[in-house]
Structure 1
Amino acid sequence: MRFSLGCKLAGFIIGTLAVLLPLLPAYAALLVFGLSVIADLVAWRSDTYKAIAETLRRKLDGQDAFGWEISKAEISDLLVRSPSNLDKLVVAEVLAEKYFASREGYGTRRALENIQESAWWSKHLSERMRNYYLTGTCLLVGVSLVVLLTSVQTVNNQQFSSSLGRIVTSVLTLVFSLNLFRSVLGYQNFSLKAGQVEKAAESLLMNTGASESDAIKLMNEYHLARAFAPLLPAWLWKAMRSELNETWKKYRQY
């Protein structure tokens, strides 16, 4: 995903330079087009790997909550369809990892505690990503509009003013090309949904009559919301991991 965004930004920069400076004017449009195509292909590849990772995560959640065994056939199929470096990641870290803090044995209560913990993490990670995207979007749009209005009032050079207007238009187009508004809404909606799942899990934990089917239904609801949500990047998880772990163990762990 980062490479896809990088290609789109590179295309924007090349297009901007082509407007301001006579740099390869005959090839600039073709280069921008090529970068746009590469960005879409990389984004499609990223979505494919995200779907594989979500499938593995669902299986691991079921294994940790209910003891559902993941067959070697399932693991082998996932690994073949995944990037070449995932083999080491899965075998050495993920399958052996104690991912959740619950001390319960396999069953309904452990499943609900896992869902509550995971949804709580997702809620805060999504909130942070929403804030990042919202800040970046507001800055891009705000600066572009200020530059455009200032140039209209102060710049007398018609050619320069026209070039500046095209650049500002390109910046605003870039906002939509990078799906910034869509990402803000996506992270916001997932954060709200994760909060609802968290509360539902807490309510079921307080209900002594909660059944395994209740836990499975809530788990599927959470997994569905996570599958349609924007990607939560690994760097953000690593940056917030210590803080969230300490907070959960201190205030929320049963």
Structure 2
Amino acid sequence: MQAQFDEAKRWWIWANVSRLLVVIITIISLIRKEWLDWIWILPAGFTVTHSLLQWRADTLQGKADAITRKLELQDGFGWKISEQERADLILEVSDKVKKKAYGTEESPYFDSRQEVFARRAIENLKQSSWYTRHLAKKMAKYVFVLCASAVALALLSTFIVIVFTSPLQRWGPNIGRIVIIVLVFMVAYGYLRLGFQYRLLSSQAEKSSNRASQLLELETLTGIQAVRLLHEYQIARATAPMIPDWLWNRTKDELNRLWVQQVSR
């Protein structure tokens, strides 16, 4: 499962690099106008490349989410993955993912020690949604800070051009165009929307976590209740952007410690 997500994130990173190159090359073309006859080809090429890379990343993310859903149902409800499903999953992944997955025994994905059925599935859901809530919240904060910094830099550049019109008369028009390109880049390529998507994921994960806590307080917990809540959470997660590995590596020790403190109360 993790190997499939890792591959999806690699394609996602390269997709982001390609669209960043579009902006960089466009800015260069404004500064070096003598290159306009040929440099326009590069942004067009990288735009197409970005679309292909993003499509591949989305496809791999969908496959990784499908594997995750099956594992959650298996661990929570005991619904074993059939040999046919296992074979289909193996055939759908790349050779690189197969090599990373074979021969590795990952640590347990969930901490619940309940008997397999509804209560165990809800405990697993509570743990997963708790981590997702805080990771998505942090990622939304980073994206919004990045967007705010870009806007502040654009406004500062505009102010400098206005105040120092004479010294910067040569560069004034270009700086104005660059500011517009940066602002359009954030909106058109979805960076501003990305922040709202992470914030929405955090909000939905928080609702799932709170609802899971309420269900765990019931004396009798039915499978229908567990499946319905798990299904809602899985849909929210599948339609959200991926959490970067660097954020998980940076926060996992703190999150693991806080989770252990929470469940040990």
TM-score of Structure 1 vs Structure 2, range by shorter chain? over 0.9
Deviations 1:98-125 (A, max 9, x none): 1001111211111110000000000001
Aligned partner letter, 1:111 = A
The correspondence of residues 51-200 of structure 1 with structure 2, limited to 5 A, is 51-93=62-104, 96-156=106-166, 157-200=168-211
Deviation at 1:206, TM superposition (A): 0.3
Tell me what 1:34 maps to.
45
Tell me what 2:32 maps to.
21
Aligned partner of 2:256 among 225, 229, 245? 245
Aligned partner letter, 1:178 = Y
Aligned partner letter, 1:13 = I
Q: Which region of structure 1 is more displaced relative to structure 2, 204-213 or 239-248?
A: 239-248
Once residues 213 and 13 of structure 1 are traced to their aligned partners in structure 2, the CA distance between those partners, rounded to angstroms, is 52
Once residues 86 and 96 of structure 2 are traced to their aligned partners in structure 1, the CA distance between those partners, rounded to angstroms, is 14
For the 8 Å contact 1:63–1:70, the answer to whether it is kept is yes
2:21 is equivalent to residue 10 of structure 1: yes
For the 8 Å contact 1:17–1:23, the answer to whether it is kept is no
SS at match of 1:236: helix
Once residues 210 and 122 of structure 1 are traced to their aligned partners in structure 2, the CA distance between those partners, rounded to angstroms, is 24
Tell me what 2:241 maps to.
230
Once residues 221 and 93 of structure 1 are traced to their aligned partners in structure 2, the CA distance between those partners, rounded to angstroms, is 31
Aligned partner letter, 1:127 = K
SS at match of 2:246: helix
Once residues 181 and 16 of structure 1 are traced to their aligned partners in structure 2, the CA distance between those partners, rounded to angstroms, is 20
Residues 64 and 88 (structure 1 numbering): CA distance in 2 closer, same or farther, change over 3 Å?
Answer: farther
Indicate the percent of aligned positions where both proteins have the same amino acid: 29
SS at match of 1:65: helix
What TM-score do you get using the length of structure 2 for normalisation? 0.90
What TM-score do you get using the length of structure 1 for normalisation? 0.93
Deviations 1:13-43 (A, max 9, x none): 1111111124632221111110111011101
Once residues 166 and 79 of structure 1 are traced to their aligned partners in structure 2, the CA distance between those partners, rounded to angstroms, is 49
Residues 69 and 231 (structure 1 numbering): CA distance in 2 closer, same or farther, change over 3 Å?
Answer: same
Once residues 143 and 172 of structure 1 are traced to their aligned partners in structure 2, the CA distance between those partners, rounded to angstroms, is 10
For the 8 Å contact 1:79–1:86, the answer to whether it is kept is no
Residues 18 and 227 (structure 1 numbering): CA distance in 2 closer, same or farther, change over 3 Å?
Answer: same
Residues 24 and 86 (structure 1 numbering): CA distance in 2 closer, same or farther, change over 3 Å?
Answer: same
Deviations 1:177-196 (A, max 9, x none): 33111111101111011001
Aligned partner letter, 1:240 = T
Unaligned stretches of 5+ in structure 2?
1-11
Once residues 6 and 236 of structure 1 are traced to their aligned partners in structure 2, the CA distance between those partners, rounded to angstroms, is 18
Aligned partner letter, 1:3 = W
SS at match of 1:85: helix
Deviation at 1:253, TM superposition (A): 4.8
Deviations 1:63-119 (A, max 9, x none): 11111111232223223322332213444447x541001111211111110000000
Once residues 235 and 84 of structure 1 are traced to their aligned partners in structure 2, the CA distance between those partners, rounded to angstroms, is 25
- Between the two proteins, the alignment pairs up a number of residues equal to 253
